[in-house]
């Protein structure tokens, strides 16, 4: 019989017979990996718990009490009485100008602006000046727009027909605006010069600070957007009437049936310029947009104009209400051309400096009589 020592199997041999050695190595590696993963999880949990404990300790610490500002609770009696008088007026710059009178004619020269307020994101301004002789608001002049300038040199002259007897009753109004191509122009400030106590024996030259504008603003008639494109090679002017907005209501429903009428003028006289459109009906008018104060047109008109003729003409766009008791009532007008002023002149110059390229711009509508007066001059 074999002895007991020879018949006994060691544990190592037993496990070798049960599973191969390479499989045991894999199992051992898996166990080690699980142990390492368990240690990492324990470490992360302990670290998170420690952060929460530290946060709780900080929250329990009393915060230093800040003194309550008196202005936020109750203003002083002195502030309540005449508080508006204590508010300093915002400084927006100065305006230099001169005036003289002879032979029933008033000469006004807008000289320059000085240290004008910046209304653009780039820290600059696009200023221009409107000139009126109150109380007459129909005759209005505008300087050119000076791009990216806070100290523009205008040096532009304007004339008003007024007798010496009427001078003491008149007031010169100089309004400075910041030009914006795609939105309403911002009124920066104004200078009002009453003539009651002025002596016009000699030329008067002054420099005054611009003041906040008075509340007496002219009636807002709406705005119109159109683009101009001139192609010198073909002598064609393309006018794309895009849209209008916030038009003056003209019917009982506070709406309007609007269309745009285009007319070309030279020296104040209407000229028959060749206009081409795809639609043969109303070749110089857009289609009518009913019951809206913000009509969208997107209609193109083509004018045959030589480069020499382009420098002499003025284009007038009139927004007209078609319905109501008085059909074809003009809501407002816009004039562009070399004889225009302000935004109308700026738009025309931008078109001339960028041939074959469409230039779009928003224009505020003016009173029809104002544009008619500019055409006569």
Q: Are 101 and 107 in contact (CB under 8 A)?
A: yes
pLDDT at 96 over 90: yes
Q: Please tell me if the domain spanning 94-209 has the same topology as the one spanning 223-376.
A: yes
d(CA 369, CA 377): 13
Computed on alpha carbons and rounded to an integer, the radius of gyration of the chain in Å comes to 39
- pLDDT for res 60: 43
| 101-115, 122-136, 147-161, range with the lowest pLDDT | 122-136
Note the pLDDT tens digit of each residue in 39-60: 888 877 777 766 665 554 444 4
- pLDDT for res 232: 93
pLDDT more than 90, % of the chain: 33
Question: Two tokens at 207?
Answer: 């420099």
Note the pLDDT tens digit of each residue in 347-372: 999 999 999 999 999 999 988 888 88
Q: What is the pTM of this model?
A: 0.51
* Residue with the two structure tokens 């807002």: 220
In order of 148, 150, 241, the CA distances from 122 in angstroms are: 9, 12, 30
Architecture per CATH, domain 223-376, reads as Sandwich (2.60)
- pLDDT for res 375: 75
Q: What is the mean pLDDT of residues 120-144?
A: 82
Say whether domain 94-209 belongs to CATH 2.60.40.150.
Answer: yes
* Residue with the two structure tokens 């009518």: 288
Q: Indicate the pLDDT class of residue 317, thresholds 50, 70 and 90.
A: very high
Would you list the domain boundaries of the chain?
A: 11-49, 94-209, 223-376
Q: Which residues are 320's β-sheet partners?
A: 259, 330
- pLDDT for res 212: 80
In order of 74, 212, 243, the CA distances from 186 in angstroms are: 36, 12, 21
In order of 72, 73, 76, 85, the CA distances from 80 in angstroms are: 14, 13, 7, 10
The secondary structure of the chain in percent helix, strand, coil, rounded to multiples of 5, reads 25, 35, 40
The average confidence (pLDDT) of the chain is 79
């Amino acid at each position: 019989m074999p002895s007991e020592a020879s018949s006994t199997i060691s544990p190592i041999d037993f496990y070798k017979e049960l599973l191969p050695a390479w499989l045991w190595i894999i199992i051992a590696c898996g166990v080690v990996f699980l142990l390492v993963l368990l240690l990492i999880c324990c470490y992360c949990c302990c670290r998170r718990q420690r952060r929460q404990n530290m946060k709780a300790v900080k929250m329990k610490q009393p915060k230093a009490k800040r003194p309550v500002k008196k202005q936020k609770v109750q203003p002083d009696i002195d502030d309540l009485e005449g508080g508006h008088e204590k508010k300093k007026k915002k400084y927006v710059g100065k305006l230099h100008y001169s005036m003289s009178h002879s032979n029933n004619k008033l000469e006004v020269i807008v000289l320059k602006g000085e240290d004008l307020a910046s209304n653009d994101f780039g820290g600059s301004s696009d200023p221009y000046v409107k000139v009126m002789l109150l109380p007459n608001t129909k005759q209005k002049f505008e300087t050119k727009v000076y791009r990216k300038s806070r100290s523009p040199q205008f040096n532009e002259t304007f004339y008003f027909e007024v007798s010496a007897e009427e001078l003491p009753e008149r007031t010169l109004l100089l309004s400075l605006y910041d030009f914006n191509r795609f939105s309403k122009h911002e009124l920066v400030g104004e200078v009002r010069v009453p003539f009651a106590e002025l002596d016009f024996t000699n030329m008067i030259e002054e420099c005054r600070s611009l003041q906040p504008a008075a509340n007496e603003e002219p009636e807002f008639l709406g705005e119109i957007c159109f683009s101009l494109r001139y192609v010198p090679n073909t002598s064609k002017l393309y006018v794309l009437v895009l849209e209008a907005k916030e038009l003056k209501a003209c019917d009982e429903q506070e709406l309007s049936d609007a269309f745009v009428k285009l007319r070309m003028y030279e020296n104040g006289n209407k000229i028959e310029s060749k206009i081409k459109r795809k639609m043969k009906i109303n070749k110089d008018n857009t289609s009518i947009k009913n019951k809206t104060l913000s009509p969208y047109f997107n209609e193109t008109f083509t004018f045959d104009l030589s480069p020499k003729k382009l420098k002499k003409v003025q284009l007038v766009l009139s927004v007209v209400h078609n319905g109501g008791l008085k059909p074809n009532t003009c809501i407002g007008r816009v004039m562009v051309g070399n004889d225009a002023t302000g935004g109308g002149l700026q738009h025309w110059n931008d078109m001339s400096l960028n041939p074959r390229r469409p230039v779009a711009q928003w224009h505020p509508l003016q009173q029809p009589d104002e544009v008619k007066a500019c055409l006569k001059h």
